[in-house]
């Protein structure tokens, strides 16, 4: 099972994402932003970082990278795609996910271990969790404040598309404590916190993040 991780100019967490995939039992494949091919992968991770220096808006330039045209097309046909932090911003800019990520309400970069509640376990990336399970993974962002129009929020809530919610304090002012959402099919998931930094005891606050990467292995096989 091959999972691609895209490297954009300014990506930071592409190596950690590839490592998390390996720890989970998958085969990580490095993908390059300027290359439209997905090299036969079964799923794609858009990692954290500051693609294109966050110029204009976070993810606004990355969205038009050659690789994203293929990702957008394949995501529409069911390819599992996980966007973490900057990757979530790119998914919103690409309109694969609704809403947008804006400057943290308190204007500070927030970096801490964060408790989350998993509220949707029917996605390609969260099927390994229990409904309502609480996990702790790092969060680190300056522009992680999720916003969307009230009717969009109501639809997300009504359709159970809030995948993870901040459980122990909201680090950035995200509306309704939303930390991550999915598309209507559940194959595209975006979240601000970093599950790839919580896959090994030595370096993470927990190994709670591993479930995202083990879930997709099951999803791709089934």
Partner 1 sequence: MPRVVVDVMLKPEILDPQGSAILGALPRLGFDGVRSVRQGKHFELEVDEPVDEARLRELADTLLANSVIEEFTLQVMPL
60 touching partner 1, by CB under 8 A: yes
194 has catalytic annotation: yes
Task: State which residue, 98 or 128, has the beta carbon closest to partner 1.
Answer: 98
Task: Using alpha carbons, select from 52, 111, 125 the residue that is nearest to residue 86.
Answer: 52
| DSSP-assigned letters across all residues of 86-147 | HHHHHHHHTTSSSSEEE--TT-S-EEEEEEEEE----STTTTTSPTT-EEEEEEEESS-EEE
Report d(CA 130, CA 9) in Å as an integer.
36
106 lies in the site for partner 1, by CB under 8 A: yes
Instruction: Answer yes or no: 106 catalytic.
Output: no
- What is the C-alpha to C-alpha distance for residues 85 and 105, in angstroms, rounded to an integer? 16
Beta carbons within 8 Å of 126's beta carbon, 6+ residues apart: 118, 120, 163, 164, 189, 211, 212, 215
Residue with tokens 């939303």: 178
Rounded to whole angstroms, the Cα distance separating 124 from 127 reads 6
Distance CA 111, CA 142 (A): 9
Nearest residue (CB) to partner 1, 17 versus 145: 145
Q: How far is the CB of 115 from partner 1 (least distance, A)?
A: 24
Q: Is 102 in the site for partner 1 (CB under 8 A)?
A: yes
Binding mask of the shown chain, residues 128 to 157, with x at each position contacting partner 1 by CB under 8 A: -----------------x-xxx--------
Candidates 24-32, 97-105, 124-132, 196-204 — which segment interacts with partner 1 by CB under 8 A? 97-105
Considering 33, 58, 85, 145, which one is annotated as catalytic? 85
Helix (H, G, I), strand (E, B) or coil at 27: strand
Could you say whether residue 100 binds partner 1 (CB under 8 A)? yes
104 binds partner 1 (CB under 8 A): yes
Nearest distance in Å: CB 208, partner 1: 30
Q: How far is the CB of 18 from partner 1 (least distance, A)?
A: 29
Instruction: Using CB under 8 A, list all residues that contact partner 1.
Output: 56-57, 60, 64, 92-93, 98-100, 102-107, 145, 147-149, 173
Residues with a known catalytic role: 85, 194, 196
């Amino acid at each position: 099972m091959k999972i691609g991780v895209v490297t954009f100019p300014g990506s930071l967490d592409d190596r950690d994402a590839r490592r998390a995939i390996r720890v989970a039992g998958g085969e990580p494949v490095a993908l390059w932003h300027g290359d439209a091919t997905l090299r036969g992968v079964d799923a794609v991770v858009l990692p954290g970082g500051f693609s294109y220096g966050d110029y204009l808006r976070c993810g606004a330039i990355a969205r038009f990278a050659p690789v994203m045209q293929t990702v957008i097309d394949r995501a529409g046909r069911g390819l599992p795609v996980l966007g973490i932090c900057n990757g979530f911003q790119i998914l919103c800019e690409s309109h694969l996910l609704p809403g947008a990520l804006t400057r943290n309400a308190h204007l500070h970069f927030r970096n801490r271990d964060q408790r989350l509640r998993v509220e949707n376990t029917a996605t390609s990336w969260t099927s390994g969790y229990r409904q309502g399970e609480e996990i702790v993974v790092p969060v680190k962002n300056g522009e992680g404040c999720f916003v969307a129009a009230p009717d969009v929020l109501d639809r997300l809530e009504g359709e159970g598309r809030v995948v993870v919610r901040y459980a122990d304090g909201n680090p950035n002012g995200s509306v309704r404590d939303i930390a991550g959402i999915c598309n209507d099919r559940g194959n595209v998931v975006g979240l601000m916190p970093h599950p790839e930094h919580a896959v090994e005891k030595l370096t993470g606050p927990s190994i709670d993040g591993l479930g995202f990467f083990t879930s997709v292995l099951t999803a791709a096989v089934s």
